Amino acid sequence: MKKLLFLFLLVSALAVVWIERPGRDPGVALSPALDPPSRETPAVAPDDAGDAPLAEPDGKAAPDEDVKAAGSAPRDPHGDGEADAPREAPEAVAVDEATAPAILTPEGDTIRKGTVEKGDTVGGLLGSVGTGETQHYLRAARQVFSLRKFRAGQAYVVVTDAATGRVKRFEYEIDDRRRLVVEGLDDPVARLETIPYETRLAFVEGVISSDLFSAVADMGEGPQLALRIANLFASEINFIRDLQEGDSFRVLVEKLYREGEYKGYGKVLASSFTNRGKTFEAFLFRDGGDREGHFYNASGESLRKALLQAPLPITRVTSRFSGSRKHPILGYSRPHLGVDYGAPTGTPVMAVGSGKVVKVGRAGGFGNQIIVRHHRDLESMYNHLSGYARGIRSGVSVRQGQVIGYVGSTGLSTGPHLDFRIKQNGKFIDPTKAVNPRAPGVSRKRAKEFAAVVAEYRAYMSGAKNVNEYKADDELEEHDSEGR
């Protein structure tokens, strides 16, 4: 009898524990009051849902409280009841409202600015802020710009109409110079615009203690300016071999601003570089009816030559032209009919002269190779590349200073470097001894105009003329050092 009573009490206790255990299957409820909340809690709470407690009176978590509806916000344990009520699940929008707050115009239109994120689309950006149809905007945009070129990291602006909530203007910055603009409600029109900048003139000078990059950085300037200077005098000075302590530079350069914020360098107007006691000068001048400006010295001679001094702006020579050199991999001596430049993988390689690409591809021990044919029966060869610049293929024309590939270590190579060679009349020659004639100088009919430009730029550099008086010539385009 005692055993039967003990078994009865044991079963009753287990039943109570089973009924009140957390996470119990709601399909086996004995009383609705003991059921945990349904796992199908709606993302948008009913009107009276704010009255439903999220925690038991003693402060313990209600059963299954950790199971939340998709899109619902986590409960703030220190918040009030109103803040803890279930919230509407946010839409999957492309605009981060924390970083792209809306701005209201006096007319009531909404302006939202942001940056394109990876995976965003134009349709997604437009649909996230406007209520109207966006396909007509996409059709208009495609008339002037390929949406396949839509890139992450670029800024955009969307303006929505106050009355209708529909998109009335969309802007997308293609690059630092251009933007796509589409505007209109029912019949939008697209166009490409030049991005306006405030241009200020600056004069920078410094002395070399170790290298050009460090000297420019010591003046508070960016590495792009060092590259511009090196590229500008690349036909006059070998910055790999000839640079020494005590050399100096001076440069007159535009600086670009948008809404008061510095955005980068504009045109270099004039520069001088003193190397080993000899001073080289460069002045930007447009000699002709087009917008292209080129650099000339004070005598009107072009700084452009048939070939640059080197295909890399600033690096080091690791092996020179030789009739007999022990190969570091093959182990025996043989001619080395080029110059090796040591540089990190990915360093841009420039075409030393204008011409036509005659080969792009694998070339045995040379690895990835590019060959460019120039005038006067000259060919330049670039070996061991890690890759090729976009658009570089056989048959295309390239300009002097254009980036055509990137330093690598393909083929028979012990480390990243560029094997650079030049052929003249089918025979390899020492690149450092190649004949290098100048391009045409300033024409006689423009000589007086050029002299006046030189005098003006020198006045800015000497301080005789205030740089704040400078008025930018938006028609003049610099080509000799831009992008090199």
Token pair 């009276």 in the structure block, residue: 48
Q: CA-to-CA distance for 397 and 382, rounded, in angstroms?
A: 16
C-alpha separations of 46 from 52, 82, 86, 98, 418 in Å: 10, 14, 9, 27, 69
Tell me the average confidence (pLDDT) per consecutive run of 10 residues in the chain, 484 residues long.
54 47 35 31 32 32 31 33 34 38 69 87 74 78 87 89 86 90 90 92 95 92 92 84 92 93 93 96 88 91 84 74 58 73 91 93 93 88 95 93 93 89 89 78 94 97 95 82 48
Tell me, what's the pLDDT at 240? 76
Number of C-beta neighbours around residue 109 at 10 A: 15
Tell me, what's the pLDDT at 56? 31
Contact 474, 198 (CB under 8 A): no
The residue among 191, 180, 188 whose CA lies nearest residue 151 is 180
> Which domains does the chain show, CATH number per domain?
102-194 (3.10.450.350), 199-304+441-478 (3.10.450.350), 316-433 (2.70.70.10)
Q: CA-to-CA distance for 414 and 202, rounded, in angstroms?
A: 44
Tell me, what's the pLDDT at 325? 55
Tell me, what's the pLDDT at 69? 30
The letter for the amino acid at 396 is V
Tell me, what's the pLDDT at 253? 97
Contact 402, 295 (CB under 8 A): no
Tell me, what's the pLDDT at 166? 85
pTM above 0.75, yes or no: no
Q: CA-to-CA distance for 216 and 229, rounded, in angstroms?
A: 10
Tell me, what's the pLDDT at 20? 42
Contact 318, 341 (CB under 8 A): yes
